[in-house]
Structure formats: structure tokens, C-alpha cells
Amino acid sequence: MANPKTLEDAFYEGLKDIYFAERTSVRALKKAAKAAQEPKLKEALERHEEESAQQVERLQQVFEIFGKAARGKTCEAIQGLMAELEEHIEDFKDSEAADAVLISGAQAMEHYEIARYGTLRSWAAQLGLNDAVKLLEQTLAEEEKTDELLTQMAEEFANRAAA
């Protein structure tokens, strides 16, 4: 009979998932920044790319706190979201809707990460990993701030240009 899975197992699997997703996100943000037409959007995506690299380092610290080696596990969800983003970049390049669909794709990835970080933060708290909670909360706050900024940019210029 197999050993029953625990919250520790779920936390570790979640960490591996978001580690892969965050590293994938860094590559996606680089492509998105190159495709952005509006300079403010390009700058925001480049800034979040740098922030995401720091988030990867933070995740490595969480793995260390948890006593496990930092390693990713293929995340089909983020791969699908990245493929969709790349398809949008190609399909809408040089169009008035380019930045609007770019923001939409970037936000889809952000929303996935927000969901993961929120869950991991809760699980870390339940497991008594207080130092990990602080790191995960910091990253969650950054992801939420980026999502808000993208929404603001969509409403300020990208959606209007697309219309």
C-alpha cells in the first residue's frame, strides 16, 4: 500500500511547479517586452522580468528552508499560457490590438502565479514555515502589484488603441 500523501508533499509539489513556472515566466516576459509597442508597457514588462528573476532566487530560499533541493517540475498550465501568449504576439504583431492582447496574455500568467503563491503561502503557514511565509508573501505582493499595473495600462491606453 502506498504512503498517504501529506500537506508537506503537496507543498513540495507546488514549489516545484511554481519554480518551473517562474523560470518560464522570465523567458515569456523577455519576449513580451520585445513585442510591446507602448514604451511604458515595454518598461513595465522589463522591470517585472528582473523582479521575476529575484522571485526565482526567493523560491530557492524557500526550498532551502523546506530542506529540499530547488528543482522544477514541468508545469503544463504555464506552458499553455506561454504558448498562447506567443501565439498572440505573432497573430497581433504590428496591429492596434497588439498591446491589449499582450497585456491579456501576461495577466493570464500573473493570475496563475498569484493563485499558486497564495496557496503556497497558506500551506507554509500551516506547516510552521514562517520564514518561507514571509518570502512567499513578498512575491505574492509583487505579482498582485504587477497585475494591477497591467490592468491600469490596459485601461489607460491599450484597450483604447485596440478599439
Residue 96 domain flag? yes
Residue 1 domain flag? no
Q: Which residue has the cell 498550465?
A: 77
- Residue ranges making up the domain that contains 19: 7-162
Q: How far is CA 17 from CA 14, 20, 65, in A?
A: 5, 5, 17
Q: State pLDDT tens for residues 36-49.
A: 999 999 999 999 99
Residue 17 domain flag? yes
The CATH code of the domain that includes 142 is 1.20.1260.10
Q: State pLDDT tens for residues 120-129.
A: 999 999 999 9
Residue 2 domain flag? no
Question: The whole model's pTM is what?
Answer: 0.92
* 133 Cβ contact partners less than 8 Å away, ≥ 6 residues apart: 121, 124, 125
In the chain, the number of structural domains is 1
